[in-house]
């Protein structure tokens, strides 16, 4: 199995945040005229600073806010994205296991994941370890679909961009609280490894526990937040093996914890200085197969520190800027079959973004980014690499009903151990605001992804890199329309086409896993979502909020790595890319709580392919979830979540069965002072 990104240590900045927080003088909060931490400023359209808002663009963008995040009580980030936005996920198992997301048929190696506007994907594997972000620390999530991103202009965004914002917009005063929860699996009789039928293990009713703590304070020009979480998950649940025998999942235990903090300081001349950081530690077991006594052990340690300076007005009222410097350390200590491997990586990133308003209908955005990576790995050796780019974007509104966006970014990649290349990435977008209730958007774009260290140089446990890999190159277009009639009804629908050359996929040949360039792949898709808000005179429930989403995707691998032509007639599909994906939710809110039921359908897909056909088909699955939230007094609330209510037996990743029915109950305390 190809390993996740390694993780490392970096405790200084978050620990400093904690010391500052608990020594902060609790003086009386003073409202100031230039308080740029207020939501009235931070979420205005014109300012549009990276971590606090998204301006009007030609792109398909969806956002999850803090209120929705708190109401769903998702165990991790992929589950949250799947339940809230029907974004596909591929998981190797329950909580703590490797999990990827998919957008428009592209996996997380081809989706640019940002934390507070800073790219956070691993230079080792190209993906992002979602378990390092505590769901309860997230203020909002922005998802930009497709490769047309001109909001952040980062590389590798072939399927889209996910920006995770952890900076809280605190109210004046102090807030403190926390939550505690327990997740129960259903005990039952099962056969152990010797084929002997055993009694139910009633301790599975206490299968996982989670504890959270958060605190924040805003006083004058300072705003500070801190949060901590700890999880113990046994991940024991009943599954059926290939012979139809009921077994109990074991050797998948997880202990993890994390701390995050943010500090925002309003400076003179409308400047704002922001410092953010987080630490994550995980101790995890991974079974080698569905039910196996052979397992791998992994210890993850990671940290991110980011210092940002926002200048809404610099030199003149028509110019604004943003500067960011960040550092990350990741370390992974992996043990499998008596063989240990250790992987550590440092990253240092610089980002500079400028916005200029020369005349009223024109906005010019320009900037650049640079990242240096240093890897020390038993599977690869000591390597370093550099990447980044510079861009300029012009947004022109010749009429209040039209917006034209033209952008070009030159991406570069290189270093001592990475092949050098510089590639221009043009993008063009149109938006037509036909009426208050109708908007039409159209984009044309090129996106690009360089091979990562793992693709090029991995050499361990039957997996071997390929130093001759070419970068992935994609061209695409999308056309979307959105309808909105107040809060009663809204609909968004987008069709898209994307063609990728030299797509990189790992395949098994003669017992050796190795990445190859699949010469050409094509994606045709349709993404649609409808939201309602229906007023009803039903006791304490004043409205019903239903939502329905559907995604259609046809993906074709047209030529193989050695140039053999397969064409559309062969029907060879991208692995883990279902044709049909659907979701729905119905929320019944009342003054002191809410009830939410949601379902997600993942259609038929394949786990792998050969040059002639797909292999390892995976059956469709339908997952049903119900969530109840209820306030008990002013400061206490209770919640309950029932997942996989129909107790579906299914796999997300081949040969790794997922949990059946589980129930989570918890309490949350929240004090404002």
At residue 145 the predicted structure's pLDDT band, cuts being 50, 70 and 90, is: very high
pLDDT in tens, 265-309: 999 888 999 999 999 999 999 876 666 677 888 899 999 999 999
**Mean pLDDT calculated for residue range 540-549:** 94
pTM of the model: 0.89
Average pLDDT on 608-624 reads 87
| pLDDT above 60 (res 22) | no
Q: What is the pLDDT of residue 291?
A: 62
User: What is the predicted pLDDT for the residue at 292?
Assistant: 65
Average the pLDDT over 378-403 and give the result: 92
Question: For residue 562, what pLDDT band results from cuts at 50, 70 and 90?
Answer: low
pLDDT at 13 over 80: no
pLDDT band at 459 (very low <50, low <70, confident <90, very high): confident
Name the more confident of 339 and 148.
148
**Mean pLDDT score, 557-561:** 76
Enclosing domain of residue 565: 12-609+623-672
The Cβ of residue 342 has, within 10 Å, a number of other Cβ atoms equal to 15
Mean pLDDT of 97-106: 92
As a whole number of angstroms, the distance between CA 484 and CA 567 comes to 40
Averaged pLDDT of the chain = 86
Helical (H) or strand (E) element with 111:
strand 111-115
Contact 375, 362 (CB under 8 A): no
Q: Which residue has the higher pLDDT, 24 or 557?
A: 557
CB atoms within 10 A of CB 357: 16
Residue 325 host element (H or E): strand 319-336
Which segment, 154-168, 422-436, 603-617, is predicted with the most confidence on average?
422-436
Does 2 fall in a domain? no
Which structure tokens are listed for 249?
Answer: 């999942």
pLDDT at 19: 35
Residue 182 falls inside a structural domain? yes
pLDDT value of residue 364: 95
For residue 658, pLDDT beyond 60 = yes
Q: Which two tokens stand for residue 457?
A: 């140089």
pLDDT of residue 279: 96
pLDDT category of residue 613 using cuts at 50, 70 and 90:
confident
Q: Given CA atoms 533, 646, 104, 324 in this order, what sign does their dihedral have?
A: positive
H or E, element range at 44: none
The pLDDT of residue 146 is 93
What distance in Å separates the CA atoms of residue 457 and residue 395, rounded to the nearest whole number?
41
Residue 617 lies in a domain: no
CA 612 to chain centre: 33
**CATH code for position 514:** 2.40.170.20
pLDDT confidence tier of residue 38, bands split at 50, 70 and 90: very low
Q: Above 50 in pLDDT, residue 35? A: no
**How far apart, in Å, are the Cα atoms of 13 and each of 229, 263, 439, 488?**
18, 11, 44, 46
Secondary structure tally for the chain: helices H, strands E: 6, 41
Rounded Cα–Cα distance for residues 137 and 74 (Å): 12
Query: pLDDT of 467-505, one tens digit each?
Result: 888 899 999 999 999 999 988 999 999 999 999 998 888
Whether the per-residue pLDDT at 36 is higher than 70: the answer is: no
Query: At which residue do the structure tokens 């009386």 appear?
Result: 28
pLDDT at 20 over 50: no
Q: Which residues contact 493 (CB under 8 A, 6 or more apart)?
A: 480, 481, 482, 526, 527, 528, 529
Q: What b/e readout covers 109-134, taking b as 16+ CB neighbours within 10 angstroms?
A: bbbbbbbbbbbbbbbbbbbbbbbbbb
CB atoms within 10 A of CB 659: 25
349-369 residue pLDDT tens: 999 999 999 998 999 999 999
Q: What is the 3-state secondary structure (H, E, C) of 217-262?
A: EEECCEEEEEEEEEEEECCCCEEECCCCCEEECCCCCEEEEEEEEE
Please say whether the beta carbons of 510 and 460 come within 8 A: no
Does the pLDDT value for residue 106 go beyond 50? yes
- Average pLDDT of 54-66? 84
Average the pLDDT over each of 132-141, 167-176, 262-271 and give the range with the smallest value.
167-176
What pLDDT score does 98 carry?
Answer: 87
Is 661 a member of any domain? yes
- Give per-residue pLDDT as tens, 201-218: 999 999 999 999 999 998
> Considering the domain boundaries, does residue 36 fall inside one?
yes
Distance CA 244, CA 242 (A): 6
Contact status, residue 587 vs residue 594, Cβ threshold 8 Å: yes
| Bridge partner residues of 522 (DSSP) | 499, 556
Identify the pLDDT of residue 295.
80
Residue 596 lies in a domain: yes
With a cut of 60, say whether residue 642 has pLDDT above it: yes
Residue 229 reports pLDDT greater than 70 = yes
Per-residue pLDDT, 289: 64
Residue with tokens 């300029």: 392
* pLDDT winner (highest mean) among 28-37, 99-108, 162-171: 99-108
318 located within any domain: yes
Contact present, 424 and 408 (Cβ < 8 Å):
yes
| pLDDT band (50, 70, 90) for residue 183 | very high
More confident residue, 601 or 460: 601
Query: Total domain count for the chain?
Result: 1
Q: Which has more pLDDT, 125 or 19?
A: 125
Taking residues 517-533, what's their average pLDDT? 92
Q: Flag the least confident range among 187-196, 475-484, 577-586.
A: 187-196
HSE-up (13 A, CA, CB side) for residue 673: 11
In a domain, residue 416? The reply is yes
Q: Where are the alpha helices (DSSP H) in 106-232?
A: none
Give me the mean pLDDT over the 54-73 stretch: 87
Pair 209, 215: CB distance under 8 Å: no
């Amino acid at each position: 199995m190809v390993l996740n990104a390694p993780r490392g240590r970096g405790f200084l900045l978050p620990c400093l945040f904690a010391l500052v927080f608990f020594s902060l003088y609790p003086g009386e909060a003073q409202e100031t005229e230039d308080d740029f931490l207020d939501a009235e400023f931070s979420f205005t359209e014109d300012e549009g600073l990276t971590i606090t808002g998204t301006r009007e663009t030609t792109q398909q963008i969806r956002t999850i806010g803090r209120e929705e995040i708190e109401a769903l009580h998702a165990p991790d980030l992929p589950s949250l994205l799947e339940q809230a936005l029907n974004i596909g996920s591929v998981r190797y198992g329950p909580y703590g296991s490797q999990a990827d997301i998919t957008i428009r048929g592209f996996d997380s190696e081809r989706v640019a994941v940002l934390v507070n506007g800073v790219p956070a994907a691993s230079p080792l594997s190209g993906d992002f370890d979602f378990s390092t972000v505590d769901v309860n620390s997230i203020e909002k999530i922005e998802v930009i679909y497709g490769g047309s991103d001109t909001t952040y202009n980062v590389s590798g965004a072939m399927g889209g961009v996910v920006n995770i914002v952890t900076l809280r917009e605190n109210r004046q005063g102090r807030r403190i609280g926390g939550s505690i929860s327990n997740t129960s699996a259903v005990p039952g009789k099962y056969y152990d490894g010797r084929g002997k039928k055993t009694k139910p293990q009633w301790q599975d009713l206490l299968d996982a526990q989670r504890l959270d703590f958060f605190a924040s304070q805003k006083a004058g020009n300072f705003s500070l937040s801190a949060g901590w979480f700890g999880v113990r998950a046994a991940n024991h649940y009943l599954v059926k093996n290939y012979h139809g025998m009921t077994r109990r999942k074991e050797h998948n235990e997880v202990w993890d914890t994390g701390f995050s903090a943010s500090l925002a300081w309003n400076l003179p001349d409308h400047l704002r200085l922001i410092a953010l950081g987080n630490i994550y530690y995980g101790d995890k077991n991974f079974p080698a197969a569905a039910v196996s006594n052979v397992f791998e052990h992994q210890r993850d340690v990671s940290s991110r520190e980011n210092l940002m300076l926002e200048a809404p007005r610099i030199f003149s009222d028509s110019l604004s800027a943003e500067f960011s410097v960040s550092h990350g350390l990741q370390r992974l200590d992996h043990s499998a079959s008596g063989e240990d491997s250790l992987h550590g990586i440092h990253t240092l990133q610089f980002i500079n973004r400028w916005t200029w308003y020369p005349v009223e209908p024109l906005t010019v955005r320009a900037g650049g980014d640079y990242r240096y990576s240093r890897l020390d790995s038993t599977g690869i050796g000591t390597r370093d690499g550099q990447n980044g780019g510079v861009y300029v974007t012009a947004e022109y509104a010749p009429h209040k009903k039209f917006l034209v966006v033209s952008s070009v970014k030159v991406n570069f990649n290189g270093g001592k151990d990475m092949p050098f290349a510089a590639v221009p990435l043009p993008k063009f977008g149109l938006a037509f605001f036909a009426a208050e209730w109708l908007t039409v958007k159209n984009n044309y774009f090129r996106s690009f992804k360089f091979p990562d260290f793992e693709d090029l140089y991995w050499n361990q446990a039957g997996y071997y890199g390929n130093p001759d890999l070419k970068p992935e190159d994609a061209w695409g277009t999308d056309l979307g329309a959105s309808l909105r009639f107040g809060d009663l009804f809204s609909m968004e629908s987008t069709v898209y086409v994307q063609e990728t050359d030299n797509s990189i996929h790992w395949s098994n040949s003669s017992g050796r896993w190795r990445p190859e360039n699949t010469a050409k792949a094509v994606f045709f898709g349709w993404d649609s979502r409808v939201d309602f808000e229906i007023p009803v005179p039903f006791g304490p429930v004043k409205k019903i909020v239903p939502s329905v989403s559907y995604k259609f995707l046809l993906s074709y691998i047209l030529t193989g790595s050695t140039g053999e032509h397969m064409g559309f007639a062969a029907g060879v599909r991208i692995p883990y890319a279902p044709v049909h994906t659907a979701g729905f939710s119905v929320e019944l809110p009342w003054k002191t709580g809410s009830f939410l039921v949601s379902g997600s359908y993942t259609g038929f897909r394949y786990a792998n392919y050969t040059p002639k056909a797909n292999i390892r088909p995976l059956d469709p699955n339908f997952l049903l979830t119900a969530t109840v939230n209820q306030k008990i007094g002013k400061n206490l609330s209770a919640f309950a979540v029932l997942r996989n209510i129909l107790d579906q037996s299914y796999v997300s990743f081949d040969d790794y069965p997922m949990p059946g029915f589980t129930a989570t109950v918890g309490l949350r305390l929240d004090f404002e002072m």
